[in-house]
Structure 1
């Protein structure tokens, strides 16, 4: 006698499929029973009052005020242009190893120690020199670029 081709797993999947189908049909019937024939246009309209809140009553025309479209700011306010001269920092070379080609500069304003590599030098420097430089953020932290002796 041949064995049935229908396994337990197939039976379970079929049961679940039929149960989902039945639940879906019940939900559809429930929605039909509870739904009205639709609302009128007046019931669906929402108003915005003078404070920007959504209400179901129309706003009072006496409280209406006019707004100039140029006064509306969308997004972030414009920043003033930055003077390039303020971006150039000054500092003192606290350590510089000429054989290895790197060192550190101590910023005058922030007192931060900033890494400097020989490839970012415009003029040769040594320990104790006053220098001007720009700062670039790298994966390992701030690094000085365009380093040259201060005038």
Structure 2
């Protein structure tokens, strides 16, 4: 006669597996017994009040506010168009290299240094000339265009 192949460890694993299955079946029966499907729709609905809190009471129809969809801002708000003041500025040429064709103008109002290229000049300019100019935004920053001489110093 052959020896039984069932070891103590195998018997214990089988007992645990059966116990787990029995517990699962008991929980399933308990869930079915406790489910209350007789609840009506009003019990399931939740409302949001004016402060954004979830409540079970419906909002008062007299306090209802009308929201216009166009007034809702999503993302970055639009910047209102600002009418540009006088686009021409005044300044002094602080540096100009005529061989390389570029230089810098110091703005009288903001005292910032603005790049100028020979292509943006209407008159030929030199250092310390008083000029009027307009600016344009370039990838590297502000650049002066339409540069005209006011008077020679």
Taking structure 2 as the reference length, what is the TM-score of the superposition?
0.56
Asked if 1:74 corresponds to 2:72, the answer is yes
Structure 1: any 5+ residue segments left out of the alignment? 1-28
- CA shift for structure 1 position 60: 3.2
1:12 aligns to what? Answer: none
| C-alpha displacement of 1:43 | 4.2
Q: Return 5+ residue gaps in structure 2 as ranges.
A: 1-23
Distance 1:88 1:41 in 2: 69
C-alpha displacement of 1:52: 4.3
What whole-Å deviation, never above 9, does each CA across 1:60-113 have from its counterpart, x for those lacking one?
Answer: 345x0544749x733336624413x43332211111122221110001121111
Q: Partners in 1 of 2:36 and 2:119 — Cα distance?
A: 77
**What is the CA-CA distance between 1:143 and the residue it aligns to?**
1.8
How many angstroms apart in 2 are the aligned matches of 1:134 and 1:45? 63
Q: CA-atom RMSD, angstroms? A: 3.5
Shift of 1:119: 0.8
Give the TM-score of the pair, scaled to structure 1. 0.57
**Structure with bigger gyration radius:** 2
